[in-house]
Amino acid sequence: MSDNIESQVVALRQQLEDYNYQYYVLDNPSVPDAEYDRVMRQLMALEQQHPELQSPDSPSQKVGGEALSKFEQVTHRVPMLSLDNAFDESEFTAFNRRLKERLLTSKDVTFCCEPKLDGLAVSILYRDGVLVQAATRGDGQVGENITENVKTIRNIPLKLRGEHIPHEVEVRGEVFMDTAGFIKLNETAQAKGDKTFANPRNAAAGSLRQLDSKITAKRPLMFYAYSMGLVEGGELANEHYAQLQQLQGWGLPMSPETKLVDNAQQALAYYQDIMTRRAELPYEIDGVVIKVNDKAQQEQLGFVARAPRWAIAFKFPAQEEITQLLDVEFQVGRTGAITPVARLEPVFVGGVTVSNATLHNGDEIARLGVKIGDTVIVRRAGDVIPQVTQVVLDRRPDDAKEIEFPDTCPVCDSHVERVEGEAVARCTGGLVCRAQRKEAIKHFASRKALDIDGLGDKIVEQLVERELIKTPADLFILKQGHFESLERMGPKSAKNLVAALEEAKQTTLAKFLYSLGIREVGEATAQNLANHFLTLEKVMAASIDTLQQVSDVGVVVAQHIHSFFAEQHNQEVVTALIEVGVTWQDVAAPSEDTQPLAGLTYVLTGTLSQLNRNDAKARLQALGAKVAGSVSKNTDAVYAGEKAGSKLTKAQELGVEVFDEEALIALLNKYE
């Protein structure tokens, strides 16, 4: 039995040593804090029940991790300790009770309450008011010299100001990264294919522990002071909060959330208040720190191995947890985007039970390297939808299954397309897919498409929900009676709607192409397609290469058009639309009338204030003009908006005519 317990203790210690190494040395933890804390508690409970197994080199007795040898070492003249934890109200109340017992008092204790910033502790030494040294906590006795890096943090003064500055003062506090800075840093890293950080704490630690302080300088780090270490040659206040105010007076930043309270009840209220505001704070915190305010009382209480008795870290519910990935399902959004959703073994995280999390897209699955059956870290911060942030690789089961992205839409079975350069895969069955139905039909009926008067969004929604229509073609089969059965629809409007549908059947090829809602095919592109191919059959039969001959159609748009018409389901709807009588006049071959700007070459430059540059370009192209990217002697005119640069100069050199945006608007309006 005792053998068994001993080996259990040894295993737990080993486990914690591993976690410590990954967390403190590599700045890359493999499990969430909640898991670490559970293992630590397990170890501490066993050590308490079996005092003979206690040992000074147990992780339960030690602070942090070892200082990295690549840095110069700094010995802390006053050790830097950790904090004991309380995970719920009863543990905090027990802390308060212990305090009073040790202080032999029944009077309330005054506390200084501070947010527990989730970064890393640093010590900054000022000699005669000048920053001379900065170090990490390391193992509490010896830290890493990071002076040059700390000097790059914007809100840390290199020189103190104000009066009565001690000969030597060691300021302690937390270096952290705000949430916005963290997200930006990771986005940049991801775009460059660099390693991303699991959370702001690791980002802060990784950024600060750089051999090259130029790298640190580029990272958005901040500092808040929360205590003093060594002090020589100066008068200090005899209360913790007053000391923080002294530091503030010397120019050091302190958290604006720091607050003095009269008793444990108020400290608890402080905890509650900060917790409700947690998501709104611009940086992450994992709890609050409650400290006995009176320095004399602090001294009376003293320390245990790794933490003071006069303070406690009162932790918030974890925002990261581990659980099992049971399966992955694919959801189709209303625009056809296919999102992989992780089905999870339910887990309590961020204050709620979570059983689904987003995996975003195929790239994200690849980046995470996640498989079905894996143990994963799930993060839920504030109201943000839960995310899978990491795989715990050493817990991967042998039968873990590769996640397979579907080739066909799980809703309508149309094929799935992923255009090169885009992260999102989409269902191409825009006209038939139940998930996309409402949006597709609303678009079909809209003013610039078939322009069906009176067929508003609310009506489309009712028709779809009652399954009166499945595709746009079904609209034309509806009778007055169908419309009358809808909410807020009288016989008169129903009759008008039937008439409007009849009228809408007469359209143009461009409008028809636009109405199909092919991705990235706007009005102008639809017009260009019609002008180029003249018939629907030719558009439908065009290859990706041929499509790219159309002005304004690049490889991405060409792929969207091609896969739309390649989808059998869509072809069926197009045929059905023609069968119910949707029709248009032949498109005339390009002529002076349809292409009044044929043969002319324009260049657009500068910032346009009223027009969108791409729209303007497409409209010019639809009128037959070529829109070039640079000015040459073949340019007929340059249209220049605000802040036009080199193209304008070039035009002036070559004697090409230059007009302003107003003139461009006038030109386009002339042919509307």
Ligand X SMILES: NC(=O)c1ccc[n+]([C@@H]2O[C@H](COP(=O)([O-])OP(=O)(O)OC[C@H]3O[C@@H](n4cnc5c(N)ncnc54)[C@H](O)[C@@H]3O)[C@@H](O)[C@H]2O)c1
Give the catalytic positions in this structure.
116
What is the C-alpha R_g of the chain? 34
Answer yes or no: is 295 a known binding residue.
Answer: no
Residue 670: both structure tokens together: 């002339």
Of 400, 313, 325, 390, which is closest to residue 22 (Cα–Cα)?
Answer: 390
Helix or strand or coil: residue 58? coil
Q: Give residues 223-242 in contact with ligand X (rule: CB under 6 A).
A: 226
Closest C-alpha among 361, 422, 409, 410 to residue 388: 361
Q: Is 313 in the site for ligand X (CB under 6 A)?
A: yes
Q: How far apart are CA 157 and CA 154, in angstroms?
A: 8
Residues 550, 508 contacting (CB under 8 angstroms): no
Among 9, 29, 109, 391, binds ligand X (CB under 6 A): 29
Task: Write out the H or E segment, with its range, that includes residue 300.
Answer: helix 295-301
31 binds, among Zn ion, ligand X, none (CB under 5 to 8 A by kind): ligand X
113 is an annotated ligand-binding site residue: no
Give the strands of the sheet with 626-628, arranged side by side. 626-628, 601-605, 637-640, 657-659
Candidates 27-35, 43-51, 89-97, 551-559; binding stretch for ligand X (CB under 6 A): 27-35
Q: Using CA atoms, how far apart are residues 191 and 181, in angstroms rounded to an integer?
A: 15
Q: For Zn ion, what does the binding mask look like between residues 366 and 405, x meaning CB under 5 A?
A: ----------------------------------------
**From 174, 321, 374, 552, residue interacting with ligand X (rule: CB under 6 A):** 174
Q: What, of ligand X, Zn ion, none, does residue 412 touch, CB below 5 to 8 Å by kind?
A: Zn ion
Asked if 427 and 356 count as a contact pair (C-beta separation under 8 A), the reply is no
Stretch that binds Zn ion, among 52-60, 273-281, 431-439, 485-493 (CB under 5 A): 431-439
Beta bridge partners of 290: 113, 312
| 33 appears as a binding residue in the annotation | yes
* Nearer residue to ligand X within complex by CB, 391 or 473: 391
Look at residue 32 and give its three-state secondary structure: coil
Cβ within 8 Å of residue 357, ≥6 positions away: 341, 342, 344, 378, 380, 385, 386, 387, 388
Instruction: Assign 341 to helix, strand or coil.
Output: strand
> Among 5-13, 77-85, 479-487, 627-635, which window interacts with ligand X (CB under 6 A)?
77-85
Q: In this chain, which of 9, 12, 13, 19 binds ligand X, going by CB under 6 A? A: 19
Alpha-carbon span 362 to 349, nearest angstrom = 25
Q: Is 113 in the site for Zn ion (CB under 5 A)?
A: no
**Cβ-based nearer residue to ligand X, 226 or 270:** 226
CB atoms within 10 A of CB 252: 22
- Is residue 433 near Zn ion by the rule CB under 5 A? yes
20 binds ligand X (CB under 6 A): yes
Considering only residues 240-299, where is the footprint of ligand X by CB under 6 A?
289
How far apart (Å, rounded) are the C-alpha atoms in residues 40 and 60?
7
Which segment (100-108, 135-143, 433-441, 480-488) binds Zn ion by CB under 5 A?
A: 433-441
CB of 218 to ligand X, least distance (A): 23
Total site size for ligand X, rule CB under 6 A:
25
Q: Does 36 bind ligand X (CB under 6 A)?
A: yes
Residue nearer to Zn ion on the CB measure, 287 or 429: 429
Task: Give the residue with the Cβ less far from ligand X, 85 or 243.
Answer: 85
Site string for Zn ion, 499-538 (x = CB under 5 A): ----------------------------------------
82 makes contact with ligand X (CB under 6 A): yes
DSSP assigned state of 66: P
Annotated ligand binding at 315? The verdict is yes
The response to whether 151 counts as a known ligand-binding position is no
- The annotation status of 329 as a binding-site residue, yes or no, is no
Within 8 A by CB and 6+ apart from 318, the residues are 32, 33, 34, 349, 350
Q: Residue 553 Cβ, how far from Zn ion at the closest point, in Å?
A: 24
Among 244, 328, 412, 574, binds Zn ion (CB under 5 A): 412
For the CB of residue 285, give the shortest distance to ligand X in the complex, in Å. Answer: 8
Strands 311-315 and 285-292, bridge-based pairing: antiparallel
Supply the minimum distance, in Å, between the C-beta of residue 413 and Zn ion: 7
Q: Does 33 sit near ligand X (CB under 6 A)?
A: yes
Q: Which is closer to Zn ion, CB of 418 or CB of 650? A: 418
Residue 429 interaction partner, one of Zn ion, ligand X, none, beta carbon < 5-8 Å per kind: Zn ion
- Which entry of ligand X, Zn ion, none binds 82, CB below 5 to 8 A by partner kind? ligand X
CA atoms within 13 A on the CB side of 367: 20
Pairing of strands 657-659, 637-640: parallel
Residue 533 binding ligand X, by CB under 6 A: no
| Strand, coil or helix: 285 | strand
Query: If binding is defined by CB under 5 A, does position 292 make contact with Zn ion?
Result: no
Least Å distance, CB 158 to ligand X, is 22
Stretch that binds ligand X, among 26-34, 404-412, 626-634, 645-653 (CB under 6 A): 26-34
> Has 412 been labeled as part of a binding site?
yes
539 binds Zn ion (CB under 5 A): no
> What CA–CA distance (Å, rounded) separates 182 from 196?
10
Instruction: Tell me: is residue 114 an annotated ligand-binding position.
Output: yes
The reply to whether 409 sits near Zn ion by the rule CB under 5 A is yes
Q: Tell me the closest approach of the beta carbon of residue 21 to ligand X, in angstroms.
A: 9
φ, ψ of residue 520 in degrees (nearest 5): 65, 10
Q: Which does 427 bind (CB under 5 to 8 A by kind): Zn ion, ligand X, none?
A: Zn ion
- The rounded distance, in Å, linking the Cα atoms of 540 and 575 is 12
Closest C-alpha to 35, from 23, 26, 47, 46: 23
Which of ligand X, Zn ion, none binds 411 (CB below 5-8 Å, type-dependent)? Zn ion
8-state DSSP, 454: T
Is 114 a residue that touches ligand X (CB under 6 A)? yes
Could you write out the three-class secondary structure of 384-452? CCCEEEEECHHHCCCCCECCCCCCECCCCCCEEECCCCCCCEEECCCCCCHHHHHHHHHHHHCCCCCCC
* C-beta closer to Zn ion: residue 206 or 336: 336
Q: Give 556: exposed, middle or buried? Use CB within 10 Å, 0-12, 13-18, 19+.
A: middle
270 annotated ligand-binding residue = no
| Cα–Cα distance for residue pair 325/373, rounded to 1 Å | 5
* Per-residue tokens: 423: 């992260």
Q: Which of 15, 23, 264, 664 binds ligand X (CB under 6 A)?
A: 23
Q: Per CB under 5 A, does 338 bind Zn ion?
A: no
Please give the Cα distance from 460 to 462 (Å, whole number): 5
**Interacting residues with ligand X (CB under 6 A):** 19-20, 22-23, 29, 31-33, 36-37, 63-64, 82-83, 85, 114, 116-117, 120-121, 137, 174, 226, 289, 313
**Interacting residues with Zn ion (CB under 5 A):** 409, 411-412, 414, 427, 429, 433
Binding residues are 33-37, 82-83, 114, 137, 174, 291, 315, 409, 412, 433
